[in-house]
Structure 1
Amino acid sequence: MDERSEALRVEEVARLLQVSPRTVYVLLKYGKLRGVRIGRAWRVPRDEVDKFLHPDRPSTSES
């Protein structure tokens, strides 16, 4: 698995975004941040966090 496809826990995403974990859950709930629910836990792909932080930057996965 390369670094770009790394799945992050909500706490890790919150630290990167400098927000609370509760805010990350709200972003996930309203579709502002894309993630995957595994059981009761959320995982957010690292590239989704990068897209959220830099929405004007072109995605490396688009070709």
Structure 2
Amino acid sequence: MSDQGRLLTVAEVASIMRIRKSSVYRLVHSGHLPAIRVGRAFRVPEQAVHDFLQGSLRNVS
């Protein structure tokens, strides 16, 4: 997993993106934000969060 960077919890992603945890879950379940299921929890690669935000910036412009 070293090429992907570290894995973030849903709470950490929500904090970075400044949205609610339920919104992060919605992004994960819809496939817009890739995640790995670990037991009953999700972990999101840090790079995936940055890629998602970069893609969102391009879509707004």
Q: Which residue of 2 aligns with 1:39?
A: 39
Q: Distance in 2 between matches of 1:36 and 1:47?
A: 13
Higher helix share: 2
Give identity over the alignment, percent. Answer: 38
Q: Secondary structure at the match of 1:54?
A: helix
- Following superposition of structure 1 onto structure 2, how do residues 45-56 of structure 1 map, counting pairs within 5 Å? 45-55=45-55, 56=58
Q: CA RMSD in A?
A: 1.5
**Alpha-carbon displacement from aligned partner over 1:13-43 (angstroms, at most 9, x marks no partner):** 0001110000000000000100100110000
Tell me the matched-pair count: 55
Runs (5+) with no aligned partner, structure 2? none
Q: Which runs of 4+ in 1 moved over 3 A?
A: none
- TM-score scaled by length of structure 1: 0.80
- Following superposition of structure 1 onto structure 2, how do residues 1-63 of structure 1 map, counting pairs within 5 Å? 5-55=5-55, 56=58
Runs (5+) with no aligned partner, structure 1? 57-63
